[in-house]
Structure 1
Amino acid sequence: MINQLANLNWVSVLLAFAAYFILGALWFTLFFSKPYKISLGRENETLPNKPIFIIGPALCSLVITIASAILFYTLNISSFNAALEFSLLIGFGFLVANTVNIAINPNIPRPILYGIISGSYHLAGILMISVILLIMK
């Protein structure tokens, strides 16, 4: 599978990454800021914006995008229906499930709310990645 790196349309990968990262910034700071803070038990606080809280998610989004592109090309996804199936499988099977699993720990006071907010972001993100990869393949 790793040999697919040479076949990737890197412009589409970078565009999909940028879209995914920007979606995350908007998701957690604009669209769902208050519920996100509630899920963390910090509804009356300003969340920190140290570099790790920007660079870390950016790197994770890049890894998710590249891994998705490798799978996308390996599986030869070439239709919208196949891209949707891929998005739902990867979205629910890995991204949402892993997000909820991470949320279920003593440090997250509202794990289900956190899982819904963060998991739905990743599901929307993988769908967006897939559409961009498909259109630009």
Structure 2
Amino acid sequence: MFAVVSEINWIAVAVSTVVLAGLGAVYFMFVIPRQYASALGREGAPAPERRTIDGIGPLLCTLVNVLTSGLLFAALRITSVGDALTFGVVVGVGYLAAMTFTIAINPNFPHPLRYGLLNAPYFVVGSVLTGLALVLI
């Protein structure tokens, strides 16, 4: 399976990573910041101080996620838009959204379902966009 590393669409991986980073910034910083703070039980609290890892960490994690999808695309020989969309939904719902809820269901998250419902759509949409990028670019 790992013999396909040379077949990864590196340009699509780079483009998808940048697009998802931008989408994440817009979604979490401008679309749902109040709802996100509420889901974390931080409504009315001052925003936490920004750290370097807050910007670099999600970008690197997104790169790993997209690169993994690129590897699977090459190994599975996915070349059609339909298969790319199916892959994006399966990975988005089956792995990313499920993992989002798994992480949130613990005592440190006062509203785990709300947290999952706010975060999961970003990951599902991101997975579908990654699939499209990997097949169209």
Q: How many aligned residue pairs are there?
A: 136
Q: In 2, Cα distance between the equivalents of 1:116 and 1:4? A: 35
Distance 1:108 1:100 in 2: 10
Superposition pairs for residues 1-137 of structure 1, below 5 Å? 1-44=1-44, 45-136=46-137
TM superposition shift of 1:46:
1.3
* Letter of the 2:40 counterpart: L
Distance 2:116 2:13 in 1: 26
Identity %: 35
Instruction: Give the TM-score of the pair, scaled to structure 1.
Output: 0.94
Deviations 1:19-49 (A, max 9, x none): 1111111111011111111111112131332
Unmatched tracts of structure 1, length 5 or more: none
The structure 1 segments of at least 4 consecutive aligned residues displaced by more than 2 Å after TM superposition are none
Counterpart residue identity of residue 33, structure 1: P
Quote the offset at 1:3 in angstroms.
2.0
TM-score (norm 2): 0.94
Residues in 2 aligned to 1:21 and 1:7: alpha-carbon distance in whole angstroms? 24
- Structure 2 runs not aligned, ≥5 long: none
Partners of 1:93 and 1:38 lie apart in 2 by 26
Of 38-47 and 107-116, deviating more is 38-47
